[in-house]
Chains A and B, each alone.
Chain A
């Protein structure tokens, strides 16, 4: 599988070993340098772990290298990248649940607005947390913001690990309800 001498080898376009399109590479590289970090953060804020965020970021740019329309202006290119990211994120959630329980609107939510809303995301989550009761708020702070283990959290709250799991579940349920009520 060594490429023929003196001929560029494309792993991305069409049949392997075909000559490549330099203008395509230039456009994709530019989009990558401009948006890779933003797309990664967009995914990280929604998925909460590095591995899922890396998957989404890689999918977005590998897809761009295959099929993004090169005639897009800057705004259309940005919209396209975030739309692909949103679809990839919805696919991740589909894997965590069952496809039938992932609402269609997760795929089609207007992407630009969502990115702009990211700047407010911490304040929005703070508002949600502030409306929980004190124990529910504390369990989420300990587990997510301070990164405490189950046993540390149990000790801090003066309860059992089994009870922390139940408290954690009730707090997340309540927070999810408050969040959907705020939108």
Chain B
């Protein structure tokens, strides 16, 4: 457990970068008062007081989705995200995109590797992966995405940190989208604030190693 001055400083550093701090930093009402004072001081920076025009345009587009032929106004995936967000809590939201899953092949884990008692699951050949394109795989029963980074690769949990639905990779938008309530995460696993109602934790990363051109993921 970090001491309070360290937790407070994490909050302050995010404000300096104009980003959303992680939730749960304050444990007492006095600590929360300090966070609020820090936010008000940061909020007095007049250079950041105006909204980003792209953000306003995006939100305007969401509100204007009605009455406009979808094909002209919204991409399919964007529409699904808006719809998914707005039907949050309705079971029907889950059924929006049956068939999409079929486009993304699930590669079964072909082999394991045991090093010093730790089991690594082979999930792909590096040569089969394209940089910037995530692939959903099964790492010993754990659903993960593999994302190639040049000669290495990263593994991120496929489980949405909101309510545990399985995320899908959208190749057009290059992000991960949740079919249940519309949460969106970037390729680093960070949640996109436009699509979430409350701050969400990022997607946990799993350890990866490349052995002889094969990608192995440690799932425990």
Contact residues in B for A51 (Cβ distance below 8 Å): 18-20, 193
Contact between A96 and B60, CB atoms less than 8 A apart = no
How distant is B35 from chain A, measured CB to nearest CB, in Å? 6
B129 at the interface (CB under 8 A from A): no
Q: Which of B16, B29, B36, B63 contacts A62 (CB 8 A)?
A: B63
How distant is B150 from chain A, measured CB to nearest CB, in Å? 29
The stretch of B2-10, B135-143, B211-219 in contact with A is: B2-10
B118 at the interface (CB under 8 A from A): no
How distant is A167 from chain B, measured CB to nearest CB, in Å? 9
Contact between A147 and B16, CB atoms less than 8 A apart = yes
Contact residues in A for B42 (Cβ distance below 8 Å): 48-49, 144
How distant is B144 from chain A, measured CB to nearest CB, in Å? 26
- Mark each residue of chain A from 141 to 165: 1 if its CB lies under 8 Å from any CB of chain B, else 0: 0011101011000000000001001
How distant is A121 from chain B, measured CB to nearest CB, in Å? 7
Contact residues in A for B69 (Cβ distance below 8 Å): 3, 8-9
A74 at the interface (CB under 8 A from B): no
Nearest chain-B residue to A106 (Cβ)? B36
B86 at the interface (CB under 8 A from A): yes
The stretch of B106-114, B120-128, B159-167, B194-202 in contact with A is: B194-202
Contact residues in A for B133 (Cβ distance below 8 Å): none
Interface size on A, residues (CB 8 A): 70
A134 at the interface (CB under 8 A from B): no
Contact between A36 and B51, CB atoms less than 8 A apart = yes
State the B residues within 8 Å of A (CB): 4-6, 8-9, 11-21, 23-45, 48-52, 55-56, 59-60, 62-71, 74, 76, 79-80, 82-83, 85-87, 96-97, 193-194, 196-199
A-B contact pairs, 11 of them (CB 8 A): A1-B80, A8-B67, A36-B56, A41-B51, A54-B52, A55-B194, A58-B59, A93-B36, A97-B27, A144-B15, A168-B5
State the A residues within 8 Å of B (CB): 1-3, 8-13, 16, 20, 22, 25, 28-29, 32, 36-37, 40-41, 44-55, 57-59, 61-62, 65-66, 91-93, 95-98, 101-103, 121-122, 125, 140, 143-145, 147, 149-150, 162, 165-166, 168-169, 172-173, 175-176, 179-180
